[in-house]
Each structure stands twice: as C-alpha cells, then as structure tokens.
Structure 1
Amino acid sequence: MTPKSLIPSKADERHPSDVRIGAVVIGRNEGARLVACLQSLPPVIARVVYVDSGSTDGSVTVARAAGAEVVELDLTLPFTAARARNEGLQALMAGEGVDFVQFIDGDCVLQYGWIETSRDFLRAYPKAAVVCGRRRERFPEASVWNRLCDAEWDTPVGQTKACGGDALMRAQVICAVGGYKPNLIAGEEPELCLRLRAEGWQIWRIADEMTLHDAAMTRAKQWFRRSRRAGYAYAEGAALHGAPPECHWVAETRRALVWGVGLPVVSIIGMALSPWSALLLLAYPAQALRLMRRFGNERGFFLTLGKVPEAIGVLEYHYGRMFHRPVELIEYK
C-alpha cells in the first residue's frame, strides 16, 4: 500500500549528514532531569525546541541557556503533552523546517547513537513514518512501580501499531495528518499512529537503545493515578476509533470494566441472594496466577490489581463526556 499522504522529500536520497533533524522536548518542572535531557541531545540535531507547560522551577531559563528555542504554552488553555508536541513541531517547521523530528519527554535522556541509527532506518524504509527503540527506566531498582514501567516498555521488535512519547518521525508526514490530537490527556501517540497507518504509513520498533526515562514513582498513589490515566485513555481511544476494523482499545476498555467494576458488583449483589456468589471473587487470584505465569509474579499481580484504577479512569471519561465536564490532566508526578 502506497502512503496516501506521501510528501516528496529528498531526505532518503541525500547524504546522511545533509538530512535535517530537529528535536521537540516537552516538560513541566522537570528540574535536573531537563538539564540531563538537553545535554544528551547530540550535535547531529540541528535545532532543539523546548515546550514548557507552565514550569515554576526555572526550566525556561535552563533551556535557553542550553541553546534551545523555547515555546511557552498559553496558560489559559489546558495543558496536554499532545498540544505541547504540536506547538513544538510548528515552531520547528518554521523557516526551512526539518526532515525528521525526535520527540522526547523532558524526564528522559537520549541514548548515544540513537539518532544516527533511527535516521538511517527511516532512510532505508521509505514507508516508515515513525521509528522507536528500547525505552528503559533509569532507576528500576528504586521501586516496584519503576520496575513495572520498565517492563511495560519492553515491547516486541518489528512493525507495530504504535509508539510511545519518544520516537523519531518524518516531520512533514506528521504535519500532513494534522499532528497529535491536542485535547487528549493520554494515549495521544497510539491515536496518531492509528491515523498514520490508515494513510498507509508504517510504525516500527527496533531493538536499539533509545532513551532512559525517570518515572520517579515511589508511592502506590502514583501508580494508581498512572493506571487511572491509562483507563481514561482506553475509554477515549475506544470512543474515537472503536469501530471495526481497528477496534482501538475496545478490548482494553472492556477488560477494565469487567475486572474493575463488573465482577465485584455482581459478586456483592449476588451475595445478598446466596453466599455462594462470593466464590466469583476467586476469579481474581486465578487471573493473577495466570498473568504471573505469563509476565512474572510482580507484573502479573499488578496487572490484575490495576484493573480497578483503570476502571475508575474509564468511568471518569464517560462521566465527563455525559455531563460535559472540562478535561483535566491526570498527573502522577
């Protein structure tokens, strides 16, 4: 299938050193993490745009001192990572623009050699719009929550459906499909990748090391909020693209509701009629054991437990949609 939105580009024909690469860094009160992020960007990146979402820790000054162009988001509009990435890309494309853009969160550092490797991959695969690599948690030993993040990002290598927040992309192609959907508070990358694939583009995950991420999750409350945000993203993604053949995040939304709400509610109501209904709750340890065998004890346990906050996020999305409540970020840091 030939990509419908293909824009003629000489990036795949020019010498690698002549390919124009830019970076969009987004952040809010990342402190030392932002300093490390900016320092990790190699000289092959010709332009760096830092997009700030209302930081109060001097991030804007730090970014300018590091040589980055700075975009400060309008404080009167809701902050989202999607909106920040769009405004960064818009600034990057002003003037001569760039061929490829590396999106990276301000709490990440770029691994040595990634830009050259991913650049060469996009040049070798003209139908690839996005390439991502292995994102690792920087301090997995700090908490179980950090280790869960690291395991979550260990996705299969090869052509895939979506990327995460860090990836190298064809800048003009992202612009051609309208960029990120700016009002999404989470799940904006899979949604963008879905639209790219609909246009005939490919998304690739390669084995090379890409970024180190600092989740800084040390409390159960942070994990709960992150899982709740995932549920919200599932519900919104299903509402946007849940129809066949894509059925985007329909299964994830259904699982969250069944395990996080349906089963406990049915069990509690059933116990009013028969105490034997309590046996339904044995489905939880059975499910946990099944997932433990597949993903390991730690991850399997929390994948089961995580259905509760995910279900809360799903219900929160539908409640807000029903009563037209304004969208609010669900932050875990």
Structure 2
Amino acid sequence: MNNPRHQRPSITATIICRNEADRIEACLESIAGWVDEIVVLDSGSTDGTLDIVRRYTDKVWQTDWPGFGPQRNRALDKATGDWVLYIDADERVTPELRAEVDRVLCAPNFDRTLLKMPWRTLLFGKPLRYGRFTSPQSRLFLRRGARFRDDLVHEAIMLPECRVGLLRGELEHDSWRSYAHMQEKHLHYACLLARQKYARGKRGGLIYAGARFFTDFAQQYLLRLSILDGRRGLLISLALAQYALHKYVALWALSQSDSGTQKKIRANPSIRMRAVRSDDSAF
C-alpha cells in the first residue's frame, strides 16, 4: 500500500518558543516523522527547552524577540517545504488531522492555498465545545509568496492568492497551565495589542473599556454558546471579557501618558527644544 506522506507535497513545521520544556515534547512528538522538516526559533529559553527540541530537529536557532509577526517571518524564511504548518508549543496535531492533511494534499485537482483546522482547546483538563477557542485556525498554507503581518500579537498570514479549505481533523490546544498563567498571558497580550492599536492611531476611553467587558462577555457566553460549556464556559467568557477590558484600559493609559508628556512640552520650552534636538540628531 502506498504511503500518502510520500506522495503529497512537502511540509515544514515552524515553531517559535521560549521556556516550554513542560509541553513542547508533546507538540514535537505529534509531528515528528510526519512533516518533512521542523524549524524552531527560540528566544531565550533557560529551562531545557532546547535540549528537548534538538532531539527532534537540528534546524534550531536562538534569537531575540521582535514580536510574534516578525518572529513568524524569521521562521518562515528558514522553511523549505512546499507547505508550512505553523504550530505552537502548546498545540498537538491529532492522528486524524495528519491523515486528513495527507489525503487532502494528494487529492486530484486540489487548488487550495490555505487550510483551516478546528481548535480543540482544553481548559483545565477538559475541552471547550463552543465559543472563540473552537474557531478554525489558519495554520497550513502554501509557502510561495506567503508572509505574516508584522504585528506584535495576533499576527495574520498574507497570501498572494487565498483559496481556503476547511478540515475536520482537530488541532489540540492546551494553552493555560493554571489560572494564574491564564491571567498573565491575557494581560500580556492585551497590553501588546493596546500598543499596536496606539501605534496605528487608535485611542481609548474608560467608559468604552467598561462597555466592552459586558458586550464581549455577552457575545462569548450567549451568542457563541459558551453557556453550553457549563462552568468552564462561564470562566472562559469572563476571562475574555476581562481581556477586552484590559486591552482598552491599557490603550486609555497610553493615551493619558502621551497627553501628559505633550502638556509638559507645551508648558516648558526647554523640553521642546531638547525634543527637537533629539529628533534632529537622528538625521
């Protein structure tokens, strides 16, 4: 019997990571021997992550951390496969998903350039069945001409031609080690996204931030049916509402800091002159 893996186009898996020794092996084990190449970019692990990674691939680079989008592009630049699967250390490719990818990529007249796969997100040991964390993820794409947006967080893939196919096999996602880790991660992402919005000219207000807490909770819990996930559905809805609150409060805080600086400059001509000289020296 022919092995579909040897008939389909080649696949490179790319992983960006830092201090993931407690879970990256499960990720690597789920793709080892299936993908044709594994590319890993590590941004300063100190917990033995690299020792684990090097058991699975010799294509490992240590780098600084420029943000999610730029780091994904660095990994993409080192990929040589026809297709690229970008996967995180807290994710695992299921056997069903592997078999489906092999079958789809070998199909006659296949013309898709992007394949989405459902997330099977675990929250403290049990899967979520509804809501945002079950949405299909754009993770497998044709490499030629592809780039990620240079965003600090929530980076998106850009393709010369985007023809989307939807898979049924699931990508397992075990994102949160603990409740404290959930809070740390969501706060970190919220502040990154606030900086990103601020750099693009967006400004925030506290009233709007408070309103987003309630609207995001209602959207997740009711409209996206997290209510059907019981206590875990309530928890994830509250966490996402809090994430929205943090994001827009952080954006408001950036606006206030900038406003305070501008007032000081207007009130003190010597500060204004120092600012001008500092700008001029850059040229």
Do they superpose with TM above 0.5? Answer: yes
Q: What residue number does 2:93 align with?
A: 110
Say whether the 8 Å CA contact 1:63–1:69 is kept in structure 2: no
TM-score, with length taken from structure 1? 0.60
Partner of 2:264: none
CA distance in 1, matches of 2:188, 2:130: 18
Hey, what does 2:245 align to over in structure 1? 308
Which residue of 1 is the match for residue 266 of structure 2? none
CA deviations on 1:156-188 (whole Å, 9 max, x unpaired) are: x6xxxxx45xx11111131xxxx2234x22111
Rounded to whole Å, the distance in 1 between the matches of 2:257 and 2:251 is 10
Unmatched tracts of structure 2, length 5 or more: 228-232, 262-283
Contact 1:53 1:79 (C-alpha < 8 Å) held by counterparts: no
* Contiguous gaps of at least 5 residues in structure 1: 1-13, 158-162, 243-249, 265-282, 324-333
- Specify the alignment match of 1:19 in structure 2: 9
Q: Provide the rounded CA distance (Å) in 2 between the counterparts of 1:60 and 1:215.
A: 21
Q: Which residue of 2 aligns with 1:172?
A: 144
Task: Report the AA paired with residue 34 of structure 1.
Answer: I
Q: Report the RMSD for the aligned CA atoms in angstroms.
A: 4.0
- d(CA) in 2 for partners of 1:43 and 1:287? 41
Residues 129 and 227 (structure 1), Cα distance of their counterparts in 2 relative to 1, 3 Å cut: farther
C-alpha distance in structure 1 between counterparts of 2:133 and 2:145, whole Å: 25
1:84: Cα distance to partner?
A: 2.6
Answer yes or no: is the 8 Å Cα contact 1:22–1:102 preserved in 2: yes
The match for 1:86 among 63, 67, 73 is 73
Aligned to 2:84: 101
SS of match in other structure, 2:124: helix
Distance 1:287 1:105, change over 3 A: closer
Task: Spell out the pairing of 1:1-333 with structure 2 (5 A cutoff).
Answer: 17-73=7-63, 75=64, 78-92=65-79, 97-121=80-104, 128-138=112-122, 140-141=123-124, 151-155=131-135, 163=137, 167-174=139-146, 179-182=147-150, 184-189=151-156, 192=157, 195-196=158-159, 199-219=160-180, 222-223=182-183, 226=186, 229-230=189-190, 232-233=192-193, 236=196, 259-260=208-209, 292-294=221-223, 295=225, 296=227, 298=234, 299-315=236-252
Asked if the contact 2:206–2:248 (Cα under 8 Å) also holds between the matched residues in 1, the reply is yes
Task: Return the TM-score normalized by structure 2.
Answer: 0.69
Q: Tell me if structure 1 keeps the 8 A contact 2:190–2:243.
A: no
